[in-house]
Amino acid sequence: MPLSTSPTSIRKALISAVMLVTALCLSLSISISTYLDVKEQKQLIVNKLNILAEIIAFNAQVTVLFDDRKTEEQRLKSFEKIPLVKNIHIYAIDEISNKAVFFTSFNARKTPPVPLRVDSIEQLQQPRITEDYIELIKPITYEGDIKGYVYIRGGLERLNEYINQKILIDILLTLFVLILVYFVAKRIQKRIADPIDHLSRLLQDVSKNHNYNARAPKTNITEINMLSNSLNIMLTRTQNQIERHKNDKQEIKQLNQSLEEKVNQRTIALREANQELLTTLERMHQYQNQIVESEKMASLGQMVAGVAHEVNTPIGLGITGSTLLRDKLAEISLGFEQKTLTSSQLKRFIDNGIENLDLIYRNLNRAAELVSSFKKVAVNQDGEINSLVNMHELITNVMLSMRTELESKAPKIVIHCSEQLMIESKAGPLQQILQQLLSNSVIHGFKDNQNNEIEITVERNESSLSINYYDNGIGVDKSVKKRIFDPFVTTKRGEGGSGLGMHLVYNLVTQALGGNVYFDDQNIEGTRFIITLPLTEASKL
């Protein structure tokens, strides 16, 4: 999960960054400068004490040799005027023990004496620097021999005062520089942030008021100018797009008005056609009473709606073609009356007229075929009487009658049926059932004429006859499996399929023959129908 950051502004960020960098640079510069200055001052003090110690050692040669303590004490009192010097010891070398012994000393006013440093002569050959003092020892030599030592101790009060003054001055200088940098940063901030604020207000105005005519002004900052130019290009393109959208909307509105007029004209023509269709449907209503008995079939209203849907399309297209032909005829008539008719117009009218008449003929013929198919669905087989039927002979005769239709897909047909199988039933419905199943395999099941097979198995038991019909075609689409026996269900809509074939099979099996038909939807490949027909007492014998 990304870490959330608190929002900030360019103004605050810019001032904070400038002030922080300036403060860090000043602190680092002042620290380094102070350190180097203090180091240099301490070195100067050490050098000065070295010089004073060498002078004292030179002057003390004679007094140490002649043991003239008073003269040396008077000479050392002259160092009262040097604030740096706090304590001076002079040690003489004892001739007997050859060790340094106290000779004389000097202590500045208000400065307590210090212990003897005879035990630290070797360590103080190099200056020892503490927080408040600097100590060092120089030898007193005469003709190359060491006759004694000079110990000098200097104070660092003036150095500490100098350091404190320098720190105070550095702090004041830092504050002055920070204040100066703050005002400079404010000036830079205003120069950068004001154009950005102006762009922000411009975008807010565009977002709130949809004022796409606004444009960002130029500034003296290159980066902001690039941002302004990009924003202006975006606003210009958005404005052009909105104008195009308005123009397209106006064109669509005008087109819709024109379409509404055409739709009204077509609606009137369709209303007339629907009135004629309703008259036809009233006559067909009597055929639907037999279909209602089936629990799996649609109700009367669904049947009427299906017929209306199927018949309405070709009739509507026929009416549309006739209306268009009438409009073209009116244009030709007007041109003829006004004597503006040209041969090209007449030729175009004749060509269009032939096409429209072909369209009207095809669709009216299609409507007639649909009505004829519907009549087959509603056919009444109750008038046909039962007779002895040889099932093997019946299947063979059906195949011979459909030989031309079967040749298009050249299926291999295998029949598993005893040649002596005789039943008492209605030959007409049985023949129609087999014809519809074979036709369904040829039209819907087989794509080409390669490796097509149909298997028909007929078996009889004590009370019923079973017909198992199977083809190895492409099978039934999932979308129609559960509605395969419903009227007007087809996958060849617009390609000649009316959706009444399997519905006719269902009606013939259940009503004309009193049996049932089952579609085996568990098959992975191909299509299988299982038909069970009851046997009469004569057939059981």
Q: Residue type at 112? A: P
**Distance in angstroms (rounded) separating the CA atoms of residues 297 and 510:** 11
SS (HEC) of 42-76? HHHHHHHHHHHHHHHHHHHHHHHHCCCHHHHHHHH
User: 438 with 415: CB under 8 angstroms?
Assistant: no
* Domain final position from 358, 378, 398: 378
Tell me how crowded residue 501 is: count the other CB atoms within 10 A of its CB: 21
The answer as to whether 211 is a domain residue is no
Q: Which candidate, 320, 416, 314, places its Cα nearest to that of 362?
A: 314
Q: Which candidate, 98, 82, 90, 103, places its Cα nearest to that of 139?
A: 90
Q: Residue type at 472? A: N
Q: Residue 147 burial (CB < 10 Å; 0-12/13-18/19+)?
A: buried
Q: Residue 47 burial (CB < 10 Å; 0-12/13-18/19+)?
A: exposed
**Distance in angstroms (rounded) separating the CA atoms of residues 170 and 317:** 100
The answer as to whether 74 is a domain residue is yes
**Distance in angstroms (rounded) separating the CA atoms of residues 201 and 175:** 36
Predicted confidence at residue 42, as pLDDT, reads 83
If asked whether residues 371 and 423 sit together in one domain, one would say no
If asked whether residues 146 and 36 sit together in one domain, one would say yes
Whether pLDDT at 288 is above 50: no
Number of domain units in the chain: 3
If asked whether residues 309 and 243 sit together in one domain, one would say yes
Whether pLDDT at 304 is above 80: no
pLDDT tens readout for residues 132-160: 888 999 898 888 888 889 999 988 888 88
pLDDT tens readout for residues 454-493: 999 999 888 889 999 999 888 887 777 777 777 777 766 5
Please compute the mean of the pLDDT values over residues 263-275 and round it to a whole number: 83
If asked whether residues 43 and 128 sit together in one domain, one would say yes
The answer as to whether 374 is a domain residue is yes
Domain that holds residue 438: 387-540
**Distance in angstroms (rounded) separating the CA atoms of residues 147 and 220:** 82
Q: From the centroid of its chain, how far is CA 60?
A: 96
**Distance in angstroms (rounded) separating the CA atoms of residues 533 and 427:** 13
Tell me how crowded residue 540 is: count the other CB atoms within 10 A of its CB: 12
If asked whether residues 404 and 360 sit together in one domain, one would say no
**Distance in angstroms (rounded) separating the CA atoms of residues 99 and 250:** 122
- Tell me which H or E stretch contains 191: helix 157-209
Predicted confidence at residue 65, as pLDDT, reads 85
The answer as to whether 197 is a domain residue is no
Predicted confidence at residue 340, as pLDDT, reads 83
Predicted confidence at residue 373, as pLDDT, reads 54
The answer as to whether 210 is a domain residue is no
**What are the structure tokens assigned to 77, written together?**
């009192």
Q: Give whole-number Cα distances, 436 to 109, 135, 433, 451, 503, in Å.
A: 140, 130, 5, 21, 10
Q: Is the dihedral of CA 64, 69, 72, 77 positive or negative?
A: positive
If asked whether residues 135 and 235 sit together in one domain, one would say no
Residues contacting residue 482 through CB under 8 Å, at least 6 positions apart? none
Please compute the mean of the pLDDT values over residues 186-202 and round it to a whole number: 75
Q: Residue 289: pLDDT band by 50, 70, 90 thresholds?
A: very low
User: 425 with 513: CB under 8 angstroms?
Assistant: yes
* Domain final position from 340, 359, 378: 378
User: 87 with 114: CB under 8 angstroms?
Assistant: yes
The answer as to whether 186 is a domain residue is no
If asked whether residues 130 and 247 sit together in one domain, one would say no
**Distance in angstroms (rounded) separating the CA atoms of residues 488 and 500:** 5
Predicted confidence at residue 446, as pLDDT, reads 85
User: 470 with 538: CB under 8 angstroms?
Assistant: no
If asked whether residues 323 and 347 sit together in one domain, one would say yes
Query: Mean of the per-residue pLDDT values for the chain?
Result: 79
SS3 content of the chain, % helix, strand, coil (to 5): 60, 15, 25
CA triple 154-160-165, angle to 5 deg: 145
If asked whether residues 342 and 392 sit together in one domain, one would say no
The answer as to whether 204 is a domain residue is no
pLDDT tens readout for residues 378-427: 444 445 678 888 989 999 888 877 877 888 888 888 999 998 888 888 88
Q: Residue 532: pLDDT band by 50, 70, 90 thresholds?
A: very high
Predicted confidence at residue 303, as pLDDT, reads 46
Q: Residue type at 88? A: I
Beta bridge partners, 87, equal: 107, 153
Lowest mean pLDDT across 208-222, 247-261, 286-300: 286-300
CATH of the domain at 446: 3.30.565.10
* Three-class SS state of 228: helix
* Domain final position from 347, 378, 409: 378
Token pair 């004749």 is found at 350
Produce one character per residue of 97-129: b if its CB has 16 or more CB atoms within 10 Å, e if not: eeebeebbbbbbeeeeebeebeeeeeebeebeb
* Three-class SS state of 9: coil
Biggest CA–CA distance in the chain, Å, is: 174
If asked whether residues 394 and 366 sit together in one domain, one would say no
Q: Residue type at 340? A: T
If asked whether residues 403 and 353 sit together in one domain, one would say no
Predicted confidence at residue 385, as pLDDT, reads 77
Whether pLDDT at 232 is above 60: yes
The answer as to whether 189 is a domain residue is no
CATH of the domain at 145: 3.30.450.20
If asked whether residues 402 and 356 sit together in one domain, one would say no
Predicted confidence at residue 294, as pLDDT, reads 47
